[in-house]
Structure formats: C-alpha cells, structure tokens
Structure 1
Amino acid sequence: MARKSYIFFVALIALVSLLMMSPAFAQEGENIESLKVMGNKRIDESTILYYIKSKPGTLLSKRQIREDIEQMYSLGQFKDIRVETHNEPNGLQVEFYVEEIASVGNVEILGNEKVDANDIREIIGLKRGATFSEHLVLKSKEEIVRLYREKGYFFAQAHIDTQSDTENLVNIAIRIKEGEKVKIEKIRFSGNKAIPDKNLNAQLETKEKSWTSFLD
C-alpha cells in the first residue's frame, strides 16, 4: 500500500509540474536545441542531466518530459521541479527548474565527556549526506537522551542547533548537558505476594548501588 501511495504521489506531482509549464510547451514535436538545469546548488548539473532522457537533437515530447520529471522525483533529492521552454534559432531550449531537498552537512558534538562521540553518532540519524528534516532532529535528540539515561544520566539534556549554508546543506551542532550520574540506593517492591523481591530485582535493568559502584 505504501508503494502504491508513493507512486501516486510522484505521478500527482508530475502532473502538477506539467500544468505549470510555459505556453511555449504547446510546440510539441519541435526540435530540442539545448537543455539547461536551473536552481541546483548541491547536485551537479551533469548528474541531473544523466537521468533526463529528453536530449538535444530529439523532438519535444510531453510524455517524455513527464517521465523525466517522475524519474527526477524518484531520486528523493528534489521537493519541486518545473519545466519551461524557450524558442532558439534552431529549436527549443528546455529548462528544468529544481528545488533541492536540504541534506545534513557537518555534525559537531559538544559537551560530551562521559559518552564517546562515536557512540552518539552511531545511534542518531543526523549523519552527513542524510536528507534533513525537523523530524530527524527531534528523533536524534530523543535517541541521545535515551542513550544517556541507559548509562544512568537521567538529567542529561540535548540541544540541537541548525544552520543552512549556500550549498543547501544544514550544518548541525549538538550541545549536551550531561548532568550527574544517578545512583540507586535501594529498590523496594510492594504488593508482590507470589514472587520474592530478589526474583523481581533480577529482572530489572536498573540495579541498586553496590560497594563496587565507585569503579563505574
């Protein structure tokens, strides 16, 4: 079902993109003199042109342009694509205007003394080159706090700052306040009649502080 929904979404976007084409696009069947990509910052023009099957020297086809747009959207790198055509001496210039989806750039981790930076990088989705989203920021923040809590730092906080650059990359600064490690002095159970305390205690990940705690 998810796959069908994705295909429908791409087709719908492609249809909208076609409706946004210039009036000159009515000249279907004319010779394509040149292709041009506009608006790209991070993705090289030659890379985009590789996925476009409309080529100079071929005839303009709405169907092929639609397939080109669908192919470009399937790369997962663009949030908007529109096409315009302009008359040239020997045919048409076809222009693809693209708006890229931002990607994660540099990721800096600050304030971590008790947890290694590599352990933090391993659990978060904010990795260089990943598609950036606010959801990814929130999820990464939750994962960092969870990691610290697993290690006994129940008051740890994570703040994530973002800054966009001219290459459509979002640089990340993760600032961590670790707080003090929490020691459990005593765990008490109430209401358990059939199961002894020691059996319940054995099932808990959280343990009481022992005389060896100073070794942690």
Structure 2
Amino acid sequence: MIRRIAHSLFLLFFCIFVFNQLSGTVFAEEIKIKYIEVKGNKRVNTSTIRSKIKIKEGDVFSPEKLREDIKSIFQMGFFNDVKVETEGFEGGLKIIFIVLEKQYIESIVFEGNKELTIEKIKEKISIKPNSIVDQQIIKDNVEKIKKYYEDEGYYYA
C-alpha cells in the first residue's frame, strides 16, 4: 500500500513539475484546484468516493491533503489501488483520482452436494453475493463447509 501511495505521489509531483515548466509559473506560486474527477469506479458510486475527498475545487493545491485523500479512499476497503493524475486545466490544476475496484462475488454455486441441502450449507457460511472477494474469508468458509459435512458424518467430503 505504501509503495502504491509513494508511486502515486511521485507521479503527481512529476506532473506538477511538468505543468509548471510548461506554463511558465514559479513552483512556489499557489496553484488552485479547478476540477476534481474520479475514474475507474463501476460499482462504488462516485459521490461515495467524493465524500472521502477533503480537497475541493477552488482550494489551493496541497500535497499533504492529497496524500490524506488517497489514503482515505483506499481505507474505504473497496479498492485494490488508488492513483492520482494531474493536468493543467483552465489556469489551474485538474486532479483525477483513478481507482481499481476489488472483485466482487456475483453468485455462489454449490455443486456435487447430494446429501445436504443448499439452504443448510448457506446457513453455515458468511460469504454473500455482491460482497468483496477476500481469499482468507473464502478459505475460512470452505473450512466451515468441511466441518459441517464432518459434523453430519461425512468425513471424506
């Protein structure tokens, strides 16, 4: 996570440096944020992501606040990665948050279970459709199903 944040910040500072060189402004000059955009989200609503962003259009650019916003978005738990790109926009700066959403469980299918009902098996697990894929939770649920079979007398399931 720290590598991703460091990489994003490096790209951000590089883009700001290039922007300043091209526009002829002095780096120490205050740069206003003119536009904020969110890209890459499919399931998570843009307004939900924007609610975690503290910087606003019209604010003076602050690397510290941007770093906090990246961290805040990442801590929502819905994303594998959060990157930031910047570009010149209407005499100021356009900030683009690019998110990579975690995979979701679309459906749960049980195959080969002839002795126990699907409803009983579903009662034993915590995974639900539309939840985020978490390999450890999947492993834990497989163990719960195995234990349920053992408890019911099926030791080689």
Percent of aligned positions with the same letter in both sequences?
A: 29
- What is the distance in 1 between the residues matched to 2:104 and 2:11? 26
Structure 2 unaligned regions, length at least 5: 21-26
- CA offsets per residue over residues 115-142 of structure 1, 9 Å max, x none? 2323322322432233313333333222
Verify: 1:106 aligned to 2:107, yes or no: yes
Question: Aligned AA for 2:15?
Answer: A
**Greater share of residues in strand:** 1
Matches within 5 A, 1:153-192: 153-156=154-157
Measure how far apart 1:61 and its partner are. 0.9
SS at match of 1:128: coil
- What is the distance in 2 between the residues matched to 1:117 and 1:71? 39
Aligned length: 147
- CA offsets per residue over residues 138-185 of structure 1, 9 Å max, x none? 3322221221111011232xxxxxxxxxxxxxxxxxxxxxxxxxxxxx
Higher relative contact order (CA 8 A, sep 6+): 2
- CA offsets per residue over residues 37-95 of structure 1, 9 Å max, x none? 11212212121111111111111110110010111111111121111111112422110
- What is the distance in 1 between the residues matched to 2:105 and 2:137? 10
Question: Aligned AA for 2:81?
Answer: D
**Greater share of residues in helix:** 2
Measure how far apart 1:11 and its partner are. 5.5
Match of 2:84 in 1: 83
Match of 1:194 in 2: none
Match of 2:23 in 1: none
Measured on the aligned residues, the alpha-carbon RMSD in Å equals 2.3
- What is the distance in 2 between the residues matched to 1:55 and 1:43? 20
The runs of at least 4 aligned residues of structure 1 exceeding 6 Å deviation read none
Matches within 5 A, 1:1-150: 13-21=4-12, 23-26=14-17, 29-150=30-151
- What is the distance in 2 between the residues matched to 1:81 and 1:108? 32
Measure how far apart 1:18 and its partner are. 1.0
Structure 1 unaligned regions, length at least 5: 1-9, 157-216
The 3 A distance-change label for structure 1 pair 146 and 17 is same
